[in-house]
Amino acid sequence: MTTALISTEQLKTVTGYDRPGDIERCLRSAGIRFFYGKGGRIVTTTDAINAALGIQSQTAPPDQEIEFL
């Protein structure tokens, strides 16, 4: 099992916002945890989105691969 990272570009599509500040506010208001990647890009994971939706996480061990989409 892998945890997929959701990129800023994907978040732009999903949220409908182009500006990083708007994306950040949208994620915060939805309770989705995120972090800043290289160059200040906003990144989250499918597990973070699922957790905000109340879907039980299937967290894998720390040495688990992360799939970049």
Q: Looking at the 3D structure of the chain, how many domains does it have? A: 1
Q: Tell me: the pLDDT tens digits for 8-27?
A: 999 999 999 999 999 999 99
Average pLDDT over every residue of 58-66: 60
Neighbour count for residue 57 (Cβ, 10 Å) = 12
Nearest Cα to Cα of residue 5 among 35, 39, 25, 40:
35
Q: What is the pLDDT of residue 26?
A: 96
- Cβ contacts of 51 within 8 Å, gap of 6 or more: 32, 33, 57
Residue range 43-66: average pLDDT? 78
Which tens digits make up the pLDDT trace of 27-53? 999 999 999 988 999 999 999 999 999
Question: Containing domain of residue 10, as a range?
Answer: 3-68
pTM, two decimal places:
0.74
